[in-house]
Amino acid sequence: MEAIILAGGFGTRLRPFTYTRAKSLLPILNKPMVSYLITMLPKKVDKVILAVNYRRDQIEDYFENNDFGKEIIVNDEPKPLGTGGAVKFAEKHITGSFFVLNSDIICSLNLDDMIEFHEKKNAISTISLWPVENVSEFGVVDMKRDGNVVGFVEKPKSEDAPSDLINAGAYFLELKVLDYIVTGRLVSMEKEIFPRIIADTGKFFGFEFKGYWIDVGRIQSYIAVHKLLMKNQNLDYVQGNNCENNGKLTNSCIGDNVFIGNNSDVESSVVFDSAQIGKSVALNNCVIGENCKIGNHSNLKNTVVGDNEPIIEKTVLDNIIVWDQPVPKGYPKKQIGNVIGE
């Protein structure tokens, strides 16, 4: 059985870290995001197709050096084809019912249970569902009691949303879904294909699950996913290899080769590899990039410091993104694809 992982987005809401990295390789508790998706797949999935374009070289490198016991195909789109176009582009690798996963979801969904549900309902498409308060950043379903989805609307205004149940970003699909997607152009699964399958077949079902779910799409949810996973594992903090920590870490994760000076206090923050945090530094709700140097006696709150950025002594920052380097060529200025409020 095959699974397609959609990993081609630019991750514009996770800038500046995605200027230099594929979003799906961003570390979560010091492991690339995509590794969580692969380990979530059922045993019977023996082939994984990574639908990529932006920074595909980094993704290829990662899988050359890390074995997950499954065949991994890095399927490089010549240009971003959207969530539907990327699935169609993987068609030649698909042999039967298959999974599609957004690469930026971290959740407790059991995909074996989802297959069972799909088969029981004799569905053509089953999508995972999660309830949220603010639905306007997501795809929202209109669903009957028995799980039959009768409407799907991507990123509606909250007053137009049919329910509080959103598309949690994992689908189990029959082969015939591929016939709905035209080849070679930008196609949105959520905007074009799901509504057509619902209208044409009536066999589109929603699968709700319990536990936890986070879309790691923006900096705040990136910090939140760290805190959630640490809480689930009863950990106060996570520390990589070869670190020297002379301060205090609370609800925080630091990468490899990180130095933290005396009397420093790191709270609800993520610090990437090789960062140097001086003494008497306070970090609260921050993400600090690779090789950053944070000067002594600095106080940073709700702040993002991009890779290699120096912060001089006694700096006070609140709600700032520090990034002073050129933006890579071809990187979009704003989010593309299923944009909110389009």
Footprint of ligand GDD (CB under 6 A): 6-9, 23, 51-53, 77, 80-83, 86, 102-105, 138-139, 154, 166-167, 169, 190, 215, 217, 337-338
Residues that bind Mg ion (CB under 5 A): 104, 215, 217
Nearer to ligand GDD, 195 or 295 (CB): 195
97 binds, among ligand GDD, Mg ion, none (CB under 5 to 8 A by kind): none
81 binds, among ligand GDD, Mg ion, none (CB under 5 to 8 A by kind): ligand GDD
- ω before 80 within 30° of 0 (cis)? no
In 179-286, where do the E strands start and end? 204-208, 213-215, 237-239, 244-245, 248-250, 252-254, 259-260, 265-267, 270-271, 276-277, 282-284
Minimum distance from CB of 213 to Mg ion (Å)? 12
Minimum distance from CB of 238 to Mg ion (Å)? 23
13 binds, among Mg ion, ligand GDD, none (CB under 5 to 8 A by kind): none
Beta-strand pair 165-173/125-131: antiparallel
Nearer to ligand GDD, 167 or 276 (CB): 167
Residue ranges of the alpha helices (H) in 25-183?
33-40, 56-65, 82-89, 111-121
190 binds, among ligand GDD, Mg ion, none (CB under 5 to 8 A by kind): ligand GDD
C-alpha pair distances (Å), 122 with each of 119, 147, 203, 205: 5, 12, 7, 9
Residue 44 has a CB neighbour count (10 Å cut-off) of: 9
Task: Give the pair of three-digit tokens for residue 26.
Answer: 């961003």
Residue closest to Mg ion (Cβ): 217
Nearer to ligand GDD, 103 or 285 (CB): 103
192 binds, among Mg ion, ligand GDD, none (CB under 5 to 8 A by kind): none
With the C-alpha atoms ordered 225, 226, 227, 232, is the resulting torsion angle positive or negative? positive
Amino acid occupying residue 71: E
Residue 232 has a CB neighbour count (10 Å cut-off) of: 11
Nearer to ligand GDD, 221 or 245 (CB): 221
Nearer to Mg ion, 76 or 137 (CB): 137
Rounded CA separation 22/11 (Å): 8
Minimum distance from CB of 215 to Mg ion (Å)? 5
Minimum distance from CB of 319 to Mg ion (Å)? 23
Minimum distance from CB of 130 to ligand GDD (Å)? 8
338 binds, among ligand GDD, Mg ion, none (CB under 5 to 8 A by kind): ligand GDD
Nearer to Mg ion, 60 or 137 (CB): 137
3 binds, among Mg ion, ligand GDD, none (CB under 5 to 8 A by kind): none
277 binds, among Mg ion, ligand GDD, none (CB under 5 to 8 A by kind): none
Residue 77 has a CB neighbour count (10 Å cut-off) of: 17
C-alpha pair distances (Å), 164 with each of 141, 148, 167, 208, 273: 8, 15, 10, 12, 38
Return all residues near 294 (Cβ < 8 A) that are at least 6 apart: 275, 276, 277, 278, 281, 283, 288, 300, 305, 311, 315
Minimum distance from CB of 159 to ligand GDD (Å)? 18
Minimum distance from CB of 319 to ligand GDD (Å)? 23
Minimum distance from CB of 278 to ligand GDD (Å)? 35
Q: Which of 90, 92, 110 is nearest to 100 (CA)?
A: 90
Nearer to ligand GDD, 285 or 338 (CB): 338
Nearer to ligand GDD, 106 or 287 (CB): 106
